[in-house]
Structure formats: structure tokens, C-alpha cells
Amino acid sequence: MVIQPTSANGSKGLARRAAFTLIELSITVFIIALMVAMAIPGFVRSYNGMILNEAANSFATLCQLARVQAVSQQSPATLHLDLESQSMWVSQSGRNQDGGQEDQTVRTVHLSNRVSLLSAVRVDLPPTDDKQILAEFYPNGTCDPIYIVLRGAEPKSGLCAIIDPLTTHATIYAVKPS
């Protein structure tokens, strides 16, 4: 009777082939860590770009909301762009409880800390050092011409959003802010 060598009767050859050595595991972990380290910067750039695009789209959406408010309420709506607080909001005059007129905030957007509002310009007015820019949206569906420049977290990444005063649609361009 011939006994076949198995791990149960003490054969070391089969036991070594059935498991991984510490060196094989270390090499595998090192390769996976190297792949992750190479992929992370791309993911971070992609994430920062997505946040910057989201901020520009929020501006465009806020402009459309201001237009809808002005047309539906037949009363001008004002878009406020505040460079100090890095926020933008829409306000509109409405009646308060006493029957008087009062500005009411319709919607507020605060920018992410990964995006900064570099400048906001009313094209029909001379440049100023004001930290808050106002643009009116009128009941006929038009608005004051305005554009903003946003800077992202990545070096030299930025977007310019220009609002068409007749249609209030935003056109967004990539720029390299200084």
C-alpha cells in the first residue's frame, strides 16, 4: 500500500504551494498602493473641476430663478453677488405683515470653500471697487448684462459665466485667472 503525501501526513511541499508567502503578499500590496497613489491626483482634479462647474451652474440657475420670479410676480427681482461673503442670492420686493413693501430673499447660494468668486461685473456700468454687485431682472424677461469669474482650487483653473441680457441664458467659458 502506497501512501500519498498530503498536508495531513506531514508533506511540506503541498502546504507551501497552497498558501501565499509574505513576500508575494507584500509585492501585491505594494503594487495596489502604487496604483492608488497614481490615481488619487486625477480624482482630486476631477472633483475640484466638478465643484467649479457646479458653482457656475448654480449661478446660471439662480439667474433663471430671478427671471422666473420677475416674470411670474410682475415685479423686478434683484440678483446680489457678494464678493466678501462668497455668496449670491435673489431678492424681490413683497408685502410684509403691516402691508408695506419689504425685500424678501427668495434663494441664497453659498460657494464652496474650493471655489472663489473673483469678480462680478455689470457690463453697462463702469468698474467699481464695490464688494457687492446688483443685477436687476425685469418683468419682461430681460436683465442687466452681467458676468462673473470663478476660480477653482486647482492652479489656473477658472470659469467665466456671462448672462445674455435678452434671454438671461448663461454662457460658461473656461478661463485662466491670474
Q: Is residue 13 part of a domain?
A: no
pLDDT at 11 over 60: no
The total number of structural domains that make up the chain: 1
pLDDT at 127 over 80: no
The closest alpha carbon to 87, from 104, 107, 67, 66, belongs to 107
- Residue 6 CA to its chain's centroid (Å): 62
Q: Is residue 102 part of a domain?
A: yes
HEC readout, 115-147: CEEEEEEECCCCCCCCCEEEEEECCCCCECCEE
Task: Residue 81: give its domain's CATH number.
Answer: 3.55.40.10
Could you give phi then psi for residue 55, rounded to 5 degrees? -65, -40
Q: Is residue 121 part of a domain?
A: yes
Output the nine-digit C-alpha cell for 93. 420686493
Question: pLDDT tens, 38-61?
Answer: 999 889 889 999 999 999 999 999
Residue 5 pLDDT grade (very low, low, confident, very high; cuts 50, 70, 90) = low
Q: Is residue 152 part of a domain?
A: yes
Q: Give the percent of the chain with pLDDT over 70.
A: 86
pLDDT at 125 over 90: no
Model pTM? 0.77
Q: Is residue 127 part of a domain?
A: yes
Average pLDDT of the segment spanning 126-139: 88
Residue 1 pLDDT grade (very low, low, confident, very high; cuts 50, 70, 90) = low
Q: Is residue 166 part of a domain?
A: yes
Question: Cα–Cα distance between 169 and 145 in angstroms, integer?
Answer: 11
Question: Cα–Cα distance between 93 and 34 in angstroms, integer?
Answer: 58
Mean pLDDT of the chain: 87
Residue 12 pLDDT grade (very low, low, confident, very high; cuts 50, 70, 90) = low
What is the pLDDT, as a whole number, of residue 165?
93
Q: Is residue 5 part of a domain?
A: no
* Domain enclosing residue 60, as ranges: 22-175
Question: pLDDT tens, 80-107?
Answer: 999 999 999 999 987 766 766 778 888 9
Residues 6+ apart with CB under 8 A from 153: 48, 51, 52, 114, 115
The closest alpha carbon to 106, from 58, 148, 70, belongs to 70
Average pLDDT of the segment spanning 72-83: 94
C-beta separation of 51 from 114 below 8 A: yes
